[in-house]
Structure 1
């Protein structure tokens, strides 16, 4: 089972440089009826479309493994959780530190209000030329991390999922920590 999950994870990640966002696109492509969950048929067809050739029994086992709630359908969060690469405690800690920097209210969600005063748009070209307002730029920034329905808020789980995908392309914890510290000025 672990080999099949690993193979599927690698296929999903190689289809998009932005890791988990690539998996999100993969899920949407597999969800041909746009029901926001995958049936066994959609999952099976998606596996074939990826060029993976698992025996039918393995596809069914993989489907059941991912379908954590046993509802005979795979929800996006189940899909994401199963395919998210495992992370070390070092990586999880630096992600939490970055999240906390932006979650000014400490409520576990980053909103536009949390970002104001922490993320400056004053030097953003689209702000300078008047093409976008501060709120529009901050919202587009949040959308990078916002998974599934774009609701203008980013949970710690969404933030972690994003960096789990990014981290899949970074070999060592030291490189990952350096990247996070540089990106978030922590």
Structure 2
């Protein structure tokens, strides 16, 4: 069983045992794999109100349904109320996504930010898919070493995680980069190993 498949299986079990609606939604999203938080985040940002970067409860409910996870209206009500503490009828999308991401240790966040900053030569908070293709080192990927896949296969799969899903734009923001690696991080228990994986891929 791959790490990703293990993540999906464990997340399904944890969803049944979740003690609050945010934790349950996080687990249900992770049952779709490494890039699930990234893809859910893209979907949420596509629906957000541009003037406020926010969504209503009804919009959040529609987004969860569109993403394809089972979540009751009662659970949406409970989840929404935890973020809409002042009862204004909207919640901030970035605040919501920050809480939704699986938590990473400071050490893990640091190495992911280091990788993103290396790619973001213009320091504008956005990197292109072409930059990712040209700098992602897949030669030490386990599937390449075992000859299950070629380096090009791995690169294209990685890029597709960012380009796929809803309305691809050819650009990756820091938030999207963090969303992706939060899913990867959830599947790796050891900080040192996670750090090694990221450093090897981006030659840090």
Same fold (TM over 0.5): yes
Distance 1:62 1:180, change over 3 A: same
Matched residue count:
165
| Alpha-carbon distance in structure 1 between the residues aligned to 2:187 and 2:21 | 20
**Contact 1:23 1:80 survives alignment (8 Å):** no
TM-score w.r.t. structure 1 length?
0.62
Q: Give the match's secondary structure for 2:33.
A: coil
Say which is worse superposed, 158-167 or 16-25, in terms of deviation: 16-25
Please say if residues 136 and 202 of structure 2, whose CA atoms lie closer than 8 Å, have aligned partners that are also in contact. Answer: no
Between structures 1 and 2, the one with greater helix share: 2
Matched, 1:162 2:199: no
Q: Alpha carbon RMSD of aligned pairs, Å?
A: 4.3
Worse overlay, 141-150 or 160-169: 141-150
In 2 relative to 1, CA 167–149 (structure 1 residues): closer, same or farther, beyond 3 Å? same
- Residue 90 of structure 1 deviates from its aligned partner by 0.2
> Residue 178 in 1 paired to residue 196 in 2?
yes
Q: Is the 8 A contact 2:35 2:161 kept in 1?
A: no
> Is the aligned partner of 1:9 residue 2:26?
yes
Structure label with greater radius of gyration: 1
Q: Separation in 2 of the partners of 1:98 and 1:147? A: 23
Once the two structures are TM-superposed, the CA of residue 150 in structure 1 deviates from its matched residue by 3.0
Once the two structures are superposed, the pairs formed by residues 59-138 of structure 1 within 5 Å of their partners are: 59-67=76-84, 72-73=89-90, 77-111=94-128, 118=135
Would the aligned equivalents of 1:99 and 1:156 in 2 still touch at CA under 8 Å?
Answer: yes
**TM-score, structure 2 length as denominator?**
0.58
5+ long unaligned stretches in structure 1:
29-33, 127-136
